[in-house]
Amino acid sequence: MTETATPADRLATVRATIDKAALRAARSADAVTLIAVSKTHSANEIRPLLEAGHRVFGENRVQEAAVKWPGLRADYPGVELHLIGQLQSNKAAEAVALFDAIHSVDRLSLVAALGKAMAQNGKFPDCFIQVDLADEPQKGGCAVGELPALLASARDAGLPVKGLMCVPPAGLNPAPWFAFLAKLAADHSLPGLSMGMSGDYATAVTLGATHIRVGTALFGARG
């Protein structure tokens, strides 16, 4: 990435990398949703990607998204907003109202709050269960051993669970963690795999990612 690259250039570069990785794995690039992670970036930094035609974005904080996105959505129809960060149960109703998908469902109390919020709102965002593969509870995610019970509760509560999400440990080869998440998803007949960030999204695509969450490679470093 060069300093002079425009957001549209970066988008084209990321898309080309996805295409190549998908080809290597004999997958269709159309099966991969690129979530442009716009956390910390201002509405004016986000607009060029919207102008370039991109419509799928990710934020990690409800409050920040509530400030930035209503205006952008009014200007650019068809935006799809994904919540990728940890969610407090007391923000479940606001999250359901604001987001089209929630990637950080990771505990019973949150499942209950989301179920109630969805029933009240009549809006049912796609849900991903975040799994803590490497015993790093500070990142959020349910323990691998808790996944079957949490998944059953989520389905009982009426959450449309589409797949699993992970954030692998920093500094290690991500491939074994991505393969592990893919195995868990297959075991539970879940089609969605939210995995891969700026440093490793090509690897994630070759291992079956259906949703990649890319910030830095599109927007540059966060301040």
Contacting positions for ligand PLP (CB under 6 A):
37, 39, 60, 84-85, 167, 197-199, 213-217
Round to whole Å and give the CA distance between 76 and 18.
25
Q: How far is the CB of 111 from ligand PLP (least distance, A)?
A: 19
Round to whole Å and give the CA distance between 203 and 209.
9
Q: Which is nearer to ligand PLP, 115 or 168 (CB)?
A: 168
Q: How far is the CB of 165 from ligand PLP (least distance, A)?
A: 8
Q: Which is nearer to ligand PLP, 89 or 216 (CB)?
A: 216
Q: How many CB atoms lie within 10 A of CB 176?
A: 12
Structure tokens at 48: 């060029």
Q: Which is nearer to ligand PLP, 191 or 199 (CB)?
A: 199
Q: How far is the CB of 169 from ligand PLP (least distance, A)?
A: 13
Q: Which is nearer to ligand PLP, 43 or 116 (CB)?
A: 43
Q: How far is the CB of 156 from ligand PLP (least distance, A)?
A: 26
Q: Which is nearer to ligand PLP, 40 or 116 (CB)?
A: 40
Q: Which residues pair with 173 in a beta bridge?
A: none
- Asked whether 39 and 222 are in contact (CB, 8 A), the reply is yes
Which of 80, 122, 121 lies closest to 103, judged by CA? 80
Closest chain position to ligand PLP (CB): 215
Q: Which is nearer to ligand PLP, 114 or 197 (CB)?
A: 197
**Within its chain, how far is the Cα of 143 from the centroid?**
19
Q: How far is the CB of 219 from ligand PLP (least distance, A)?
A: 8
Residue 96's contacts (CB-CB under 8 Å, 6 or more residues apart) are 102, 114, 117, 118, 121, 123, 125
- State whether residue 130 is helix, strand or coil: strand
Residue 3's contacts (CB-CB under 8 Å, 6 or more residues apart) are none
Q: How far is the CB of 158 from ligand PLP (least distance, A)?
A: 25
